[in-house]
Amino acid sequence: MENPDNYLILNVDDDDIQRYTVTELLKESGYRVIEASNGKETLEKVKQNPDLIILDVNLPDIDGFELCRRIRKIPGFEYVPIIHLSATYTDDDSVINGLENGADGYLIHPVEPRILLAYINAMLRIRELELKLLDANEDWYETFNTLNSGIIVTDGSGIIKKANKRIYEILNISEKLCGKNIKDILTLWDMPEVLDNFEELLNKDEDYQIDFQLHGRFYSFISNLLKDKDGNVKKRIFVIIDITAYKEMEEQYRQAQKMEAIGRLTGGVAHDFNNMLTAIIGYSDFLLMHFKEGDPTRQIVEEIKKAGQRAAELTQKLLAFSRKQTINPEIVNLNDIIKDMEKILKRLIGEDIKLVMELDENLGLIMIDPTQVAQVIMNIVVNARDAMPNGGVLTIETRNVIFGTEYAGKHLDTKIEKGKYVRLAISDTGVGMDEETKSHIFEPFFTTKGPGKGTGLGLSTVYGIVKQNKGYIWVYSQPGKGTTFKIYFPMLKKTEGIKIEHEATIKENIRGKETVLLVEDEDLVREMISNTLTDLGYNILPVANPREAMKILDERDNSIDIVVTDVVLPEMNGNELVRIIKEKLPSVKVLYVSGYTDRGIVSSGMLKKGINYLQKPFTPVNLAKKIRQILDRAGG
C-alpha cells in the first residue's frame, strides 16, 4: 500500500496481548493506529474518523456484531471497511452473522500477518475507489439538481428513476416522482400540447421535442432515448427547458423587423405625399400672389394652403418615424432643454399631476436637433398625462450610463453599440399597458384613445427620432403599475463636435433673370415650380428625366446658371446627374429637392457640408429665396 501513513486504523480488542500484537504490526507497516478495548470506548474513538476498523467479536460490554450494526448507522460510516478478527467465534455461522451485520471481512485468530496486511490493503483500495465514486456521484447529483432545466430519467417502460429539483419547481408539485410511471404523472399536469401526443410519442423509437406553455411561461419538452447494444430502449431522458426569455427575445426581434418594414413603407408614402403637397401648397401661394387682400377667392385659397400645411406636418411625423426627415443637429445638454420646457410641461399636465425632475448635474453632451428633443418629451408627456386622468406623478430623469456586453445580451432585438450614453427616462404612475398594447405603441396610427383624440403618430414619431439619432428606446409597463420610457442617446466624446454652417443672410429680392434647368419627374410639381419661377422672371428649362436634361445640356452649352433637381429620378438619381453636368459645367450651381432624404445626398437625415437642399413640401417663396440665396453666394 502506497503512503500507509495517510490511513488511520482503529484496532478494537479486549485482549491486551492480541491488541498490542496487531497494533505493532500495523505501525511497522506505516499505518497510524488508535486503540479501543470495549464497545463504549470504540464508539468514542470512531469520532476520530478512522479509515478502517479491526473489530473483535467477543467484547465485555457489547458483542462485535451489535457494535458493527451501531457503527454502520453513524453518518459517514456506511462505507468504512470493518474487519472482524476473532479467536472465539470461528464457526461458519459466526462468519455469516458477522458479514450480514455489516462487516466487510472476517478473519480467525491466529492470522498470518501477511494475510492480515493483504486483507487491509485490499479493503483500503476498495475504500479509495468507493470514495472516488461517492465524490463523482455527489458532483453529478449536485450538477443534476442545480441545472436550470427540469430532468426526469425513466427506464424503458417509463418508470421514473431520477428527477431533479428543478422539475418539481417547474411543475409546481411536491409529491415524490421516483417509482411512478411518467404517463400517470403527466395526467396531473396542465400540458395539453404534451398529453395530446405523448402516448403516441412515448411508443416511438426516436427522440422528439414539443414546446408548450405552463403557469404563464413557455417550455420546451424534449425526450431522448438511451438504447442497449441490441437496440432496445434502456432509458428515456425527459428534459423540460424554460424558453420564456428566448420567446420574449424572438418577439422583440419580430417586432423590430415589423417596425423597420413599417418605417420603409411610411417613408415611401410620405415621399409621394410630399410631391402632391408641394404642388398644392405651391399653386396656393402662386394664386395668392395674384389675389388682393379682401378678395373672397383669396380666403378660399388661404384655406386650401392651410389644409396643405397641416397635411405637410403629418408627413413630417411620418418621416420622423421612418427616420428620413431633415434635421439640424447641435451639441446640447438634455438638462438645459428639459429646464426650458418645465413651465410648458406643468401647464400641459395640469395641477393634478406632480412633475418631478431628477437631472444628473454631470450629464454628458449629445448631438441632436433640440426641436426633436422637445418633440420626444412632449409626445411622451402627453401620453403620460392621458394615462393619469385622476392625477399622479410624472418623473423625468437624466443620467449617464455605459452599455456593456451584459446589457446587450438583454436586448437581442437590437444591435447595441457599446459605449457611453445619456439616458432620458420618463415615468408615470398611470394605468399602464398590457403586453398586447405595448407591442403596438410605436406603430403609426395606433392609438388607444377615442375618435378625434389623437393621430396615433406621437410615439411612432418618438421612435423615429430616437432611431434617426442612433439611439435606443425601450418601454416598461404593466397594467395598474404605470409606464416608463427609457431613451438612450450616444454621449459625445470631449473632442467631438460638428460645425453647422450658417447660411448668409437671405436677400428679400427673390426675382431673377438667370437660366434654371429644372429636373423633376412629377408633372404637377414640375409645372408648379416652372410657373412660379417664370412669373418671377427666371428663364426655366423644365424636363422630366435625366435623358432630357442631357439633351438640353448639349444644346445650351454654358448658358445654364443653376440646376434644380429632384434626388430620386428615373434612370439615375439626382446626384449622379449632377456629377455628369459638372463635368461639362464645373461652376454650375445646384439645388437638390426631395420628398425624403435617404438617397445619395443626405445620409441618415444629416445635412452634408456644401450641399444645397430643400425639403418638400415647400412654398414657391421659399424655393425662390433658396435659389436667389445660392445664386448670390460667391462660389455657391
- For the 147-242 domain, the top CATH level (class) is alpha beta
Q: How far apart are CA 204 and CA 198, in angstroms?
A: 10
d(CA 315, CA 339): 29
pLDDT of amino acid 600: 35
pLDDT of 603: 44
| CATH architecture entry for 515-632 | 3-Layer(aba) Sandwich (3.40)
Contacts of 99 (CB under 8 A, 6+ apart): 105, 106
Q: Which of 43-47, 87-91, 144-148, 432-436 has the lowest mean pLDDT?
A: 144-148
Q: In whole angstroms, how far apart are CA 146 and each of 71, 164, 382?
A: 32, 8, 48
Question: pLDDT by residue (tens digit) across 544-585?
Answer: 999 999 998 888 766 889 999 988 788 888 888 888 998 888
- pLDDT, average across residues 501-507: 33
> 475, 438 in Cβ contact below 8 A?
yes
* 451 and 523 Cβ atoms separated by less than 8 Å: no
Residue 190 banded pLDDT, cuts 50, 70, 90: low
Confidence band (pLDDT; 50, 70, 90) for 499?
Answer: very low
- Quick check: 495 pLDDT over 60? no
| Confidence band for 19, pLDDT divided at 50, 70 and 90 | very high
**266 neighbors 318 (Cβ within 8 angstroms):** yes
Where does CATH 3.30.450.20 sit in the chain? 147-242
Which residues touch 453 (CB under 8 Å, ≥6 apart)? 447
Q: CA-to-CA distance for 409 and 415, rounded, in angstroms?
A: 10
The torsion defined by the Cα of 177, 183, 189 and 195, in degrees rounded to 10, comes to 160
Does residue 452 have a pLDDT over 50?
no
Residues in the chain: 636
Q: How far apart are CA 174 and CA 317, in angstroms?
A: 56
Confidence of residue 271 (pLDDT cuts 50, 70, 90): low
Q: Give the confidence band of 457 by pLDDT, cuts at 50, 70, 90.
A: low
Are 575 and 608 spatial neighbours (Cβ–Cβ below 8 Å)? no
pLDDT-derived band at 258 (thresholds 50, 70, 90) equals: low
Question: For the domain 248-321, what is the CATH code?
Answer: 1.10.287
- Residues of the chain within CATH 1.10.287 domain(s) are 248-321
CA distance between the termini of the chain: 98
Cα separation, 150 vs 146, whole angstroms: 10
- Are the beta carbons of 45 and 23 closer than 8 angstroms? no
Residues 6 or more apart in contact with residue 624 via CB below 8 angstroms: 510, 511, 532, 533, 536
A 10 A CB-CB count for 298 gives 15
Burial of 303 (0-12, 13-18, 19+ CB in 10 A): exposed
Helices (H), 591-619: none
Residues 203-217 have a mean pLDDT of 74
Please give the Cα distance from 591 to 626 (Å, whole number). 8
As assigned by CATH, the class of the 4-143 domain is alpha beta
Write the DSSP symbol of residue 341: H
Q: Which residues have a Cβ under 8 Å from the Cβ of 378 and sit 6 or more positions away? A: 341, 345, 348
Give 14-20's long-range contacts (Cβ < 8 A, gap of 24+): 14/38, 14/56, 14/58, 14/59, 14/60, 15/56, 15/87, 18/56, 18/87, 18/109
Question: Could you give the residue range(s) of every CATH 3.40.50.2300 domain in the chain?
Answer: 4-143, 515-632
Q: Who has greater pLDDT, 324 or 401?
A: 401
- Cross-strand bridge partners of residue 475: 485
Element (H, E) at 25: helix 16-28
Say what the pLDDT of residue 519 is. Answer: 93
Q: Is the pLDDT of residue 606 over 50?
A: no
Mean confidence (pLDDT) of the chain:
80
Cell of 140: 453529478
pLDDT at 11: 96
The least confident of 105-109, 291-295, 403-407 is 403-407
Instruction: Check residue 498 and give its pLDDT.
Output: 40
- What phi and psi, each to the nearest 5 degrees, are found at residue 438? -60, -30
Tell me which CATH homologous superfamily contains domain 330-490: Histidine kinase-like ATPase, C-terminal domain (3.30.565.10)
Cell of residue 156, nine digits? 424503458
Question: What pLDDT score does 502 carry?
Answer: 34
* d(C-alpha 472, C-alpha 461), whole Å: 14
Check residue 117 and give its pLDDT: 93
Contact present, 398 and 423 (Cβ < 8 Å)? yes
pLDDT in tens, 346-375: 988 988 899 999 999 999 999 988 878 888
Q: Which among 433-437, 448-452, 627-631 has the top mean pLDDT?
A: 627-631
Q: What is the pLDDT of residues 111-140, one digit of tens each?
A: 899 999 999 999 998 888 888 887 887 787
